Amino acid sequence: MTHNQEITPKFHPEITPPLEELEAQERRLVFRQFTHDDAWALGSLLVELARERQAPVAIDIHRAGQQLFHAALPGSAPDNDAWIARKRRVVERYGSASYLVGARCRAKGTTFEESSRLDPDEYAAHGGSFPITVEGVGVIGAVTVSGLPQLQDHRFVVEALEQFLEL
């Protein structure tokens, strides 16, 4: 190997999935009900998956303004809790996944910050917060992960919801 050869592979950022795919996830990942026990079980599943992958994440589940689950795994930091709050507020305000809200803005050639005019210290349309939607009721809360790149945070939550809902 010569001195100038790279030893590590180049980073290739992931491409945003089509809006239709992101919207289909929301239509598919719907609960019949969502109880305190469901929050504990879903949160525990997320922790188990994160530990298997040694993912340095914080995990949060809120329902109707109440925190029902929170865990911070090794490698996570207080900043992850701040990101969780900002991403969760986007879900609460728009009723859609934080990643989808940001992707819709990008598809229109703008940014969430420009189009929403909301305080970026309070709202972040970055991936990782997904609405908890109950059949016949609507969005009642959010499950949020922070600590990975935003698309990976989003996909991690979606994967856990698919397992939890057995889809």
Of 154, 136, 137, 133, the closest CA to residue 145 belongs to 154
Backbone angles phi, psi at 126, to 5 degrees: -110, 155
Instruction: Assign 3-class secondary structure to 99-129.
Output: HHHHHHHHHCCCCHHHHHCCCCCCCCCCCCE
The letter for the amino acid at 138 is G
What tens digit of pLDDT does each residue of 50-94 get?
A: 999 999 999 999 999 999 999 999 999 999 999 999 999 999 999
**Predicted local distance difference test score (pLDDT) of residue 13:** 57
Is the confidence at residue 7, as pLDDT, over 80? no
Alpha-carbon distance of 32 to 68, in angstroms, equals 18
What tens digit of pLDDT does each residue of 124-136 get?
A: 999 999 999 999 9
Confidence band, pLDDT 50/70/90 cuts, at residue 15: confident
Alpha-carbon distance of 26 to 34, in angstroms, equals 16
